[in-house]
Amino acid sequence: GESVGLHLPTLSVQEGDNSIINCAYSNSASDYFIWYKQESGKGPQFIIDIRSNMDKRQGQRVTVLLNKTVKHLSLQIAATQPGDSAVYFCAEKKNSWGKLQFGAGTQVVVTP
């Protein structure tokens, strides 16, 4: 069936560098794409989302890019900090109140 998946299971980043986490999706009907951060022992924490009619959205130190042509989503974290170490999930949904379909997750490890 259609799914959302991640390219890299683990990303090691030096503190202060920028991080890029990638995600591929296959459901063309999805209208919303979301990034969540999950720290060990905690629930997913919303980071940023983007709707299908946009290709870029910026937040505080984070930017989400959406390329509908190749069905690709990415999360950029500027000046990565130790507190950014976590598993990052991309997720999609067909409408604003619909179920979230999560990808497999990428472990980001920030090294000093």
Partner 1 sequence: EPEVTQTPSHQVTQMGQEVILRCVPISNHLYFYWYRQILGQKVEFLVSFYNNEISEKSEIFDDQFSVERPDGSNFTLKIRSTKLEDSAMYFCASGRDHRTSGSSTDTQYFGPGTRLTVL
Which residues contact partner 1 (rule: CB under 8 A)? Answer: 34, 36, 41-46, 49, 51, 89, 91, 96-105
In the complex, the smallest distance separating the C-beta of residue 2 from partner 1, rounded to whole angstroms, is 14
Specify the residue, 49 or 84, whose C-beta has the smaller distance to partner 1: 49
Specify the residue, 3 or 14, whose C-beta has the smaller distance to partner 1: 3
Q: Say how many C-beta atoms besides its own lie within 10 A of residue 22's C-beta.
A: 17
In the complex, the smallest distance separating the C-beta of residue 112 from partner 1, rounded to whole angstroms, is 26
- The residues, ordered by sequence, that sit 6+ positions from 8 with a Cβ below 8 Å of its Cβ are 21, 22, 106
Distance CA 108, CA 30 (A): 26
Closest CA to 109 of 39, 54, 46: 39
Specify the residue, 79 or 100, whose C-beta has the smaller distance to partner 1: 100
In the complex, the smallest distance separating the C-beta of residue 17 from partner 1, rounded to whole angstroms, is 26
Closest CA to 71 of 46, 103, 98, 110: 103
In the complex, the smallest distance separating the C-beta of residue 12 from partner 1, rounded to whole angstroms, is 19
